A and B are shown apart, each in its own frame.
Chain A
């Protein structure tokens, strides 16, 4: 079945440590790929996106993501986490031919410890 998987429900990282959030998708053709962040009670903010081209994508707030076709993955990374990065992170895709409909992963809650 076509889906977006975020295998980690919660992740706790020490402030200043590196971060990697995992995302895998199962679609026949590579979809458009996105990472969004949501603070409690807030809407979604786009961190970065991948449509084509360079597989390492730079986003806002120091985040980057790498698209790996062979692994059907689009993992999000940050070299040094700040306490303000604590939030819910969603990987999402728009399948080709999907009429712009976003399909979201289940989300990963990031906790940052002092």
Chain B
């Protein structure tokens, strides 16, 4: 089956620094990837749609200058949390559809970000 990986699985950073999270589709190509944020004991909230070769589209209320998304290739999307603050501490999960127009998505294992 389709596999999506994320790196790192967890990261601790100091307030004011930036952190990059990678999302890779290992055995398939993904022109679109999705980034979600999940606070403890809450559901997943879609942050943005990452588009290969073009700008990401952000959901309402998500700061595009704070959460930089780059879809560098057909198998890699990155999320950079810039000038991180403690309130950015969360579980970040990416997903990729199985194919163009396919509604089913495959999820990465998630990245736990803690900002101190």
Contact = CB atoms under 8 A, between A and B. Distances in A.
Q: Do A and B assemble together? A: yes
Interface of A: 32, 34, 36, 41-46, 49, 51, 90, 94, 99-107, 109
Nearest to A32: B103
A44 B91 CA distance: 12
A41 B49 contact: no
Given A43-B109, A43-B110, A90 B44 contact: yes
Given A32-B104, A103-B46, 9 more contacts: A32-B103, A41-B112, A46-B106, A49-B104, A100-B32, A100-B105, A101-B49, A102-B46, A107-B42
Interface in B18-63: 32, 34, 41-46, 49
A42 B109 contact: yes
Contacts of A94: 103
A38 B91 CA distance: 12
B104 to A, nearest CB: 6
Contacts of A90: 43-44
B60 to A, nearest CB: 13
B32 to A, nearest CB: 7
Interface in B72-116: 91, 93, 95, 97, 101-110, 112
By Cβ-Cβ distance, the 4 closest A-B pairs, closest first, are: A32-B103, A94-B103, A43-B109, A44-B107
Nearest to A43: B109
B103 A51 contact: yes
A43 B93 contact: yes
B95 A102 contact: yes
A49 to B, nearest CB: 6
A19 B80 CA distance: 40
Contacts of B103: 32, 51, 94, 100
